[in-house]
């Protein structure tokens, strides 16, 4: 089995490029052995550099700290932007970058207070991150099932994925799409509105999922069973969440994610 | 200035052997640029795949590597070994990071006897592998030195023995050619002082979540502690690959929750 990649990773700040890294390589796997070199697959390298031209123009135009990564593999070419303002980030793609950056600026203007006793309302598809940790990563680790609500459907297929030619492929989510069918929904008057997530994790030893909420700023730590029990309802179609760069074993991969507007109990 | 590196590593990672050959260069001006060094290979020694130790590990990564470095006119070589392993015994996770491949079987056996969690004892002796991980946080609280190293820093400059101060470190740490080097103290070392006490509980290893694995006459337990006053430090015993390196020693301290 052969895996080849060419990737360029740049960091821009206020329209000025600070860092630029090119990476390419080919890995050949035979059973449990991988031989990897940084040889270039010329077609992938050309595809990567070609796609970087418009991506670079976008990064340069944004008045913020922007990381732009173009990854070309034999499965396709992927461009992602991580835009950071005031320590809060979104992850986006070329077709959504304008709207997502505007949403980030809008969210930064909101500083709601938080109260751990109130239910949580997960806006902008952010419930996808909660499920990414509690459902998707748990599946990667073959965690035993917990009782999710019947109205919730989560599509989070796993496939062998790797960040670079020198990495061991791991079973990772290709995407996470959460949807609802006939879910109950009532918007609580007293609530905490979750807008953006900073990061998270799942620990297979303790079965605890952690979600660091960026806006408003607080951290959730709960077992999968507690999270499943907390799900009160949802409404509407799945909303694309701008930003899941998933890191496992040091390998960072983009996982497109979406979830409907969702309500959970206090977590 | 241009930095170049040619490297060969063999890694055992959770059952897979990964052999990697790569070379790269970095240009450090106002903008940092890094890219593979195409078409210029250097002869490097062969490295043998590490053999994993027996045991039921949650995660094990053993890496052996050789590398040639060039920064301007300065060239040097390195040979490194790194081991990271974790052992799970729910809800606890033992973490081992070291520069050699010999696993302390007695430590694994102690972890298998863990009985639960306790409040931290008022006085605690940190074993070298725990003290080494804590050293950066103790800068300014006890006397710490940078110990001379066998290889230069990330810009080819010698790493000399110096007292660690609150000021800017003189050396540069470059963990990869793809990363902009940063100033860092190398090979941190607590200067010995005070008197150790063999009678107090001993923190023998790091656990997940910032806990430590402790042993006393009553058994083996997990504890979370805050380092208060450091009462004594013994002589350096073993080098650990935390950051740009740290020497572990026995360290006696007052601890609190």
| pLDDT above 70 as % of chain B | 100
* B148-173 confidence digits (pLDDT tens): 999 999 999 999 999 999 899 999 99
Of B16, B23, B31, the CB nearest to A168: B16
For residue A203, list chain B residues with Cβ-Cβ distance below 8 A. 208
- Could you say which residues from 180 to 199 on chain B have a Cβ atom under 8 Å away from some Cβ of chain A? 180
Task: For residue B36, give the nearest of A22, A32, A249 by CB distance.
Answer: A22
Using alpha carbons, select from B183, B142, B136 the residue that is nearest to residue B159: B183
Please give the pLDDT value at position A239.
97
Closest listed residue to residue A71, CA positions, set A94, A47, A95: A47
Q: Which residues of A touch B15 (CB under 8 A)?
A: 32
Q: Can you tell me whether residue A103 is helix, strand or coil?
A: helix
Q: Rounded to an integer, what distance in angstroms lies between the CA atom of residue B110 and that of residue B107?
A: 5
Q: What is the pTM for the complete model shown?
A: 0.92
The pLDDT tens digits for A88-147 are 999 999 999 999 999 999 988 776 666 668 999 999 999 999 999 999 999 999 999 999
User: From the list B36, B58, B93, which residue is nearest A38 (CB)?
Assistant: B36
Q: Which of A226, A192, A190, A233 is nearest to A210 (CA)?
A: A226
pLDDT in tens, B63-114: 999 999 999 999 999 999 999 999 999 999 999 999 999 999 999 999 999 9
Q: In chain B, which residues have their Cβ closer than 8 Å to the Cβ of A166? A: 18, 20, 22
Q: Which two tokens stand for residue B118?
A: 């306790």
Contact A19 B33 (CB under 8 A): yes
Q: Is A49 helix (H, G, I), strand (E, B) or coil?
A: helix
Q: Which residue ranges of chain A lie beneath pLDDT 50?
A: none
- Alpha carbon distance B134, B248 (integer Å): 9
State in Å, rounded, how far the first CA of chain A is from the last one. Answer: 44
Burial class (CB in 10 A: 0-12, 13-18, 19+), A201: middle
Q: Look at the alpha carbons of B106, B107, B111, B115 in this order and tell me if their dihedral is positive or negative.
A: positive
Q: Are B50 and B13 in contact (CB under 8 A)?
A: no
Interface of A with B in 205-244 (CB under 8 A): 205-206
pLDDT, tens digit (0-9, with 9 covering 90-100), for B109-163:
999 999 999 999 999 999 999 999 999 999 999 999 999 999 999 999 999 999 9
């Amino acid at each position: 089995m052969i895996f080849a990649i060419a990737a360029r990773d740049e960091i821009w700040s206020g329209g000025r490029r600070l860092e630029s890294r090119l990476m390419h390589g080919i890995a050949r796997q035979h059973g449990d052995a991988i031989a990897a070199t940084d040889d270039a697959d010329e077609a992938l390298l050309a595809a990567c550099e070609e796609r970087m031209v418009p991506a670079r123009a976008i990064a340069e135009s944004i008045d913020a700290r922007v990381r732009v990564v173009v990854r070309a593999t034999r499965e396709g070419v992927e461009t992602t932007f991580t835009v950071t303002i005031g320590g809060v980030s979104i992850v986006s793609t070329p077709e959504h970058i304008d709207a997502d950056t505007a949403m980030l600026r809008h969210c930064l203007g909101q500083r709601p207070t938080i109260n751990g006793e109130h239910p949580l309302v997960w806006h902008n598809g952010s419930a996808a991150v909660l499920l990414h940790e509690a459902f998707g990563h748990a599946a990667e680790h073959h965690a035993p099932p917990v009782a999710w609500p019947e109205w919730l459907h989560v599509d989070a297929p796993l496939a062998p994925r790797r960040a670079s030619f020198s990495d061991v492929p791991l079973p990772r989510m290709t995407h996470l799409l959460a949807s609802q069918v006939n879910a109950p929904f009532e918007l609580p008057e007293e609530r905490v509105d979750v807008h953006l997530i900073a990061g998270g994790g799942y620990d297979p030893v303790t079965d605890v999922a952690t979600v660091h909420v960026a806006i408003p700023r607080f951290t959730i730590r709960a077992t999968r069973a507690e999270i499943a029990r907390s799900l009160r309802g949802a409404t509407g179609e799945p909303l694309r969440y701008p930003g899941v760069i998933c890191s496992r074993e040091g390998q960072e991969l983009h996982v497109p994610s979406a979830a409907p507007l969702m309500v959970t109990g206090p977590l | 200035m241009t930095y170049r590196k040619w490297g060969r590593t063999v890694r055992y990672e959770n059952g897979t052997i990964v052999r990697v050959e790569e070379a790269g260069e970095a240009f450090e001006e106002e903008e940092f640029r890094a890219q593979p060094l195409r078409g210029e290979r250097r002869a490097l020694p062969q490295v043998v795949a590490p053999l994993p130790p027996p045991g039921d590990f949650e995660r094990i990564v053993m890496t052996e590597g050789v590398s040639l470095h060039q920064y301007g006119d300065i060239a040097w070589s390195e040979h490194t070994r790194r081991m990271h392993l974790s052992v799970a015994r729910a809800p606890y996770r033992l973490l081992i990071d070291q520069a050699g491949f010999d696993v302390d079987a007695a430590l694994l056996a102690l972890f298998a006897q863990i009985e639960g969690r306790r409040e931290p004892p008022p006085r605690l002796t940190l074993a070298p592998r725990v003290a080494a991980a804590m050293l950066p946080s103790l800068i300014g609280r006890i006397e710490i030195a940078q110990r001379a190293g066998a290889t230069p820093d990330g810009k080819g400059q010698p790493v000399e023995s110096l007292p660690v101060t609150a000021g800017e470190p003189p050396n540069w740490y470059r963990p990869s050619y793809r990363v902009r080097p940063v100033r860092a103290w190398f090979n941190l070392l607590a200067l010995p002082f005070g008197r150790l006490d063999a009678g107090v509980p001993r923190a023998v290893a790091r656990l997940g979540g910032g806990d430590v694995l402790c042993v006393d006459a009553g058994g083996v337990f997990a504890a979370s502690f805050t380092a208060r006053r450091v009462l004594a430090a013994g002589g350096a015993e073993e080098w650990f690959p935390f950051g740009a390196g740290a020497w572990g020693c026995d360290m006696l301290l007052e601890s609190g929750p």
